[in-house]
């Protein structure tokens, strides 16, 4: 079983930056693919960025060039560096993880494709 705990959310002005963290614990094979999702008002949960154990990260078009996903394996932590924040980036951000699957790991994977979720951290940009 994998446990995920997000932190780092908060309120920031338009154009500002935030760094989200997701501390992971549990079996490592359950975190082969890790991702950040967000849920904005009136919308479902959408993928923001994903990163496999081996390979390149992928990003939603809306955040390319502004957000960076990374992992620190020594700290068992997933990060999301968010720069140039916009009001439409506001929402609840969730960390998600799943084990290896033959189809790989990308930001296009649906919510249902992930096995483990954190409780979320709120980001408000105004």
pLDDT tens sequence across 40-51? 988 889 999 999
Strand-pairing partners, residue 78, are 22, 71
Count Cβ atoms within 10 A of the Cβ of residue 32 and give its class: 0-12 exposed, 13-18 middle, 19 or more buried.
middle
* Nearest by Cα to 56 from 108, 105, 111, 115: 105
112 three-state secondary structure: helix
What is the C-alpha to C-alpha distance for residues 17 and 12, in angstroms, rounded to an integer? Answer: 7
Q: What percent of the chain has pLDDT over 70?
A: 99
The predicted-structure confidence for 40-88, as pLDDT tens digits, reads as follows 988 889 999 999 988 899 999 999 999 999 999 889 999 999 999 999 9
């Amino acid at each position: 079983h994998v446990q995920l705990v997000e932190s780092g959310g908060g309120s920031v002005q338009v154009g500002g930056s935030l760094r989200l963290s997701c501390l992971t614990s549990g079996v490592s094979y359950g975190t082969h693919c890790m991702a950040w999702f967000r849920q904005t008002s009136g919308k479902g949960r959408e993928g923001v960025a994903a990163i496999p154990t081996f390979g390149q990260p992928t990003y939603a078009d809306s955040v390319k060039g502004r957000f960076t996903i990374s992992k620190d394996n020594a700290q068992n932590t997933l990060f999301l560096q968010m720069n140039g924040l916009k009001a439409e980036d506001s929402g609840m951000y969730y960390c998600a993880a799943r084990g290896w699957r033959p189809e790989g790991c990308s930001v296009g994977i649906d919510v249902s494709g992930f096995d483990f979720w954190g409780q979320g951290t709120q980001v408000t940009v105004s």
